[in-house]
Structure 1
Amino acid sequence: MDDARLRQRLKEAADAHRPDRARILARVERGLAAPVPTGRPTRPARPSVRRRWTVVVAVTAAVTAAVGLGGLAATSLDDRRPGPVTTLPAPGPTARATGTVGPGSNRWWAQSDLAVTTGSPVAGLTVEVRIVRTPGVVSTGHWRTRPAEDFTVTVTEEARALVYRWTLKPGRTVPPGPHAFAAQYDHAEGARDASGDTYRVLLTGPDGGRTLLRGGFGG
C-alpha cells in the first residue's frame, strides 16, 4: 500500500471516531486520585473519587442503621432493668410507747405520762410531748426516770402547743427496759380534753437504725 492510500485510510478512520466522554472523565478522575510517585514501592491505585464517595455513602447508611438498631436495643434493655436501688437504714431498736393522763391530775392541774419500753440498747433518743394550749395551759415542770444528766430538756411555747422535748446527750445510752417521761401543766378549772395532745419518740440503735413511734394521750 502506498503512502497516499495509507494516509487516506487514517484520515477516514479519524473522521469516523467518536470519543467516549464518560470513559475519558473516569480516566481523568483516576489520574487525579492516584498518588504522586515518590520512589517508594508502588501500591494499587486508589478507587476513583466517585467510587469512594459511593462507598462512603453506603458505609454511612450502614453505620446509621446499626446505630439506630443499637439505640433501640439499649432502650429495650433499659426498660427491663429495675429502677435505682434505694438503700434503707438498718432496722431500729425494738420499742413501744403508751401515752396517758396521769391519775394524779385534777380540775386545775394535769400530768401527761409517756411510758416507753425498749427491747434493745438505744444510742440516740428524742422524746417529744405536745400539749395543746387549751385555756389556762401553762407549764409547771417535767421529769423522767432516766438520769437527768443524760438528757437535754427544753419546753417551748408555740402558738398552739407547749412542746416538751428530751434529747439523749451524745455518748449516752439507754438500756432495754421500761422508761417514763412526764409533762406537767396548769389548765383552766374543770375537766380538760387531752384528745389533741400527742407524742413522738425517735430511737436510734448502735448501728444507726431508727424507730419512730407516734401516738396520743386519749380523751
Structure 2
Amino acid sequence: MDEERLRRELREAGLAHRPDHARMLARVERGLAAAPRASERRPAVGRRTFPGALPWASPWTGRRWTAALAVAVAVAGVVGVGGLAVTTLDRGPVAPASAPPAPGPVAAAAGTVDPGSNRWWAQGDLAVTTETQVSGLVVDVRVARTAGVVSTGHWRTRPAEDFAVTVTEEPGALHYRWTLKPGRTVPPGRHVFAVQYNHAEGVRDASADTYTVALTGADGGRSTLRGGFGGAAPAK
C-alpha cells in the first residue's frame, strides 16, 4: 500500500462524523499485512544485516511501516475520544433548520371610483378588510397621470395620527402612501383609504390606477395585496 493511498484513507477516517471502528481496525490490519515478509526482505547493497534485526530497521521497508503506524495512531485517536472526530477536523456545529415564515394576515382589498366623482374631479376609494389585528400597514395608491390630473387631497377612516402620509409626483403617476406608525395597530374590519384629484373635463378612465397593500401581523407574518380601480368616473 503506497503512502498516498494511506494518507487519503487517513483523511477519510478523520472526516467521518460517526466512524466505523471495526472498519478502521481492518484498514490497519491491511496496512500491516502489506509490509513484506521476512523472506522477502533484502539487505541494501553494501550493507550488512544481522540475525534478529527488526523489520523496520531496514530502509527498504521503513516508509511502509511508518505509514501503517500512522493509520494505527489515527484510529487510536478517533476511538479514544469515544468515536468523535478530533477537534482540528470538526466542521463546526450544525445550524438548526430555519423555521418556516409565519403566515401573513388574512385580508382583502378592492379599488373603486367613488360615485360622487364628476366631469372635472374624481375620488378613488380603496377598501381594505382585515380579519385579524394588523401591526404593520403600508398602503400605496398610484393615480395615472392622465390629462389634467392634479392632487386635491386624501383621507382614511382610521385616525389621522396613526399614519404618516406622503403624496409624490412621479413621472407617470401621483403616488399616495399611508404608513402605519410604530406602536400603532389596525383592528379587524373594513378600512377605507381615499385619493382625490382634478382631471381634464370629461369621463376619465381609471383603469391604469393601481394599489398595493402590505400588511404585517403581530407574529411578524406578512402578506401583500395588489389590484386596480378599473373603472371610469361617472359623467355628472
Using the size of structure 1 for normalisation, the TM-score is 0.67
Whether 1:212 and 2:231 are equivalent positions in the alignment is: no
* Unaligned stretches of 5+ residues in structure 2: 1-40, 71-95, 232-236
Q: CA deviation at 1:47?
A: 3.0
Q: Percent identity?
A: 65
The one of 22, 28, 39 aligned to 2:47: 28
2:121 maps to amino acid: W
Using the size of structure 2 for normalisation, the TM-score is 0.63
Q: Which entry has the higher C-alpha Rg, 1 or 2? A: 1
Q: Distance in 1 between matches of 2:164 and 2:64?
A: 82
Q: RMSD of the TM alignment (CA)?
A: 2.7
* Structure 1 residues 53-72: aligned runs within 5 Å: 53=63
* Structure 1 residues 40-119: aligned runs within 5 Å: 44=54, 46-53=56-63, 87-119=99-131
2:140 maps to amino acid: E
Q: CA deviation at 1:54?
A: 5.1
Residue 177 of structure 1 corresponds to 189
The one of 174, 180, 202 aligned to 2:214: 202
Q: CA deviation at 1:27?
A: 7.2
Residue 158 of structure 1 corresponds to 170
Q: Deviations over 1:67-126 (max 9, x none)?
A: xxxxxxxxxxxxxxxxx9665421111110000000001110000000000000000100
Distance 1:29 1:175, change over 3 A: farther
1:127 maps to amino acid: V
Distance 1:132 1:24, change over 3 A: closer
Residue 135 of structure 1 corresponds to 147
Residue 74 of structure 1 corresponds to none
Residue 19 of structure 2 corresponds to none
Say how many residue pairs are matched. Answer: 164
Residue pair 1:89, 1:209 contacting (<8 A) in 2 also: yes
Residue 19 of structure 1 corresponds to none
